Amino acid sequence: MKRLLSATIIAAVCSPTLATPVYHPPGPNLTYGSVSNGQSLLSDINNPAAGALAPLKEGSKFRMGVLSSVGAGVEYGEIDNLFDDLDAIAADFDFSNAFASIPNVNTEAALAEVDTRITDINDLLENIENDGYGKVFVSGHSPLMPIIISSDTLGGSLTFDLNFSAIARLGAVADTVAFEVNNANTFITTNVGNPVPVTSNIVDPTNNAGIGDVVITAGNNTVTYSLTNDSVVRLKAAAVMEGGFAYSRNVLSGSSGNLLAGVRGKYYQVTLYQDVEKVEDETDTENLFEDFDSDDGQTETNFGVDLGMLWAADHYRVGVTVSNVNEPEFEYNAIDPAKLAVINDPRISNLLSQKLVYKMETQLSLEGALHSKNQSWVFSAAYDTNAVEDPTGDEYQWLSASAAYITKSWIMPGIRVGYRANQAGSELSYLTAGITLLKVLNLDGAYGLEDVVIDGSTLPRSFTVNLGLELSF
């Protein structure tokens, strides 16, 4: 955990200012999902059209957040003890240490043992590249944001928002350790003389070249097989600041309900950062973050556009939101050429040399809710019809459902429970729950239903907590 928290600090300091991120719904939306249900301020900014509901409701026409949401969460890949495995691999690359138990014997047993251990390392490296990662993310809204102002003069509502998020992802790009055990055995068979013994040994790399040498003596001849590996640990981090301005209005009224439409413009400031460290150069992943240089991050600005429609009746709502219609793009910094120069594997070198771009892809989201007339009870569901990537390249496509009761009493708390699942990428699922105290204080959490072992402890593969405070006038 400490290692990932260090990575998040790197992400947060990449930018002087810090989008509701697809990986971290803010405030009560963690439980509600992306539904405009009227029970909280943040639920009414999911869909750009929802702000116009305020003039149609009896009560407040001005709503704002005191500190409407701050939150944090973690997500892990499905490999248990990821960091311990990375440490073990780094230790195995110090062959004089890791293979000290291999005896110098006059048989091929030592070579077989070396080959077995190298095969185990390669299998683990492949699994880590495919499935092993750790992520930490934080997000929040600036004080007083969002603000929704309903105006009879404008015939609708204006919504202002300023929020931030930061994310860090630690993963790996794996290279196999090459050792031709058959060639070694051929050497032994060719050169052994009776009764001259065969010996083998694992020693530190000659002149610090490679990760270790397998030295074999057969008869009067000696051969050295150098082992090399270009596996790297890769850190991706992002800091995103989003300033939003939306206008929404009622476009059609009928006896059964109202049709509302809205458009939201967004200004983005995004800082993206990536770096790598060779696994063979590390003996403890605790030290990785001392080698990463957060000053290399690249900051860019761009604009996004969201569109929304919402049909609101006395006892139900249905709506659709199209996010980032124009698909704004942002570039990562290039990795230090000096670090690429020591990588010999062309696959890894080419992969790390490619320009890395984060595109905020267009996403179409559907929502629906059944509620009592005063909206004290709400049963809702939302579904993203397509997957989009977060800044680190992981895909998210949420399905969510919830039930909630909100009260007008200062004494009795409001409660909500729900379920959410990522239909793409990690395919993680969560139980969610939240409580509203004193009508203004919201606390929500999401607990992952899949487990992982971290530092010897069994934990959910992901969990998130949000806290917020909002007011209406």
pLDDT (mean) for 212-234: 69
Would residue 126 count as lying in a domain?
no
Would residue 214 count as lying in a domain?
yes
What's the total number of domains in the chain? Answer: 2
Same structural domain for residues 184 and 160? no
Range of the structural domain that residue 97 is part of? 89-121+178-227
Give CA 125 to chain center in angstroms: 21
Would residue 386 count as lying in a domain?
yes
pLDDT computed for residue 473 by the predictor: 56
3-state secondary structure at position 172:
strand
pLDDT computed for residue 63 by the predictor: 78
Same structural domain for residues 304 and 167? yes
pLDDT tops 70 at residue 182: no
Would residue 221 count as lying in a domain?
yes
pLDDT computed for residue 452 by the predictor: 84
Same structural domain for residues 308 and 349? yes
Range from 76-85, 132-141, 173-182, 464-473 that averages highest in pLDDT:
132-141
pLDDT computed for residue 411 by the predictor: 86
pLDDT in tens, 126-162: 877 877 788 899 999 888 888 888 877 778 889 999 9
pLDDT computed for residue 267 by the predictor: 95
Last residue of a domain, one of 227, 244, 264: 227
In this prediction, residue 341 has a pLDDT band, given cuts at 50, 70 and 90, of confident
pLDDT tops 80 at residue 12: no
What CATH number did the domain enclosing 419 receive? Answer: 2.40.160
pLDDT computed for residue 122 by the predictor: 80
Same structural domain for residues 340 and 423? yes
Same structural domain for residues 312 and 391? yes
Last residue of a domain, one of 188, 207, 227: 227
Would residue 83 count as lying in a domain?
no
pLDDT computed for residue 231 by the predictor: 82
Same structural domain for residues 210 and 287? no
pLDDT tops 70 at residue 315: yes
pLDDT (mean) for 461-467: 93
Higher-scoring residue by pLDDT: 291, 31: 31
pLDDT computed for residue 76 by the predictor: 87
pLDDT computed for residue 317 by the predictor: 92
pLDDT computed for residue 363 by the predictor: 96
pLDDT (mean) for 376-386: 93
pLDDT computed for residue 55 by the predictor: 54
| pTM exceeding the 0.85 threshold for the entire prediction | no
pLDDT computed for residue 30 by the predictor: 92
Same structural domain for residues 293 and 154? yes
Same structural domain for residues 298 and 318? yes
pLDDT tops 50 at residue 439: yes
Higher-scoring residue by pLDDT: 311, 112: 311
Same structural domain for residues 54 and 97? no
pLDDT computed for residue 472 by the predictor: 62
**Backbone torsions φ then ψ of 32, nearest 5 degrees:** -65, -35
In this prediction, residue 255 has a pLDDT band, given cuts at 50, 70 and 90, of confident
Residue type, 425: G
Would residue 127 count as lying in a domain?
no
The string over 143-167, giving b where at least 16 C-beta atoms fall within 10 Å of a residue's C-beta and e elsewhere, is eebbbbbbeeeeebbbbbbbbbbbb
H-helix or E-strand spanning residue 413? none
pLDDT tops 80 at residue 407: yes
Mean pLDDT of the chain: 79
- Distance separating alpha carbons of residues 95 and 212, to the nearest angstrom: 6
Same structural domain for residues 70 and 196? no
Residue 350 DSSP symbol? H
Would residue 155 count as lying in a domain?
yes
Would residue 414 count as lying in a domain?
yes
Same structural domain for residues 140 and 188? no
Same structural domain for residues 352 and 237? yes
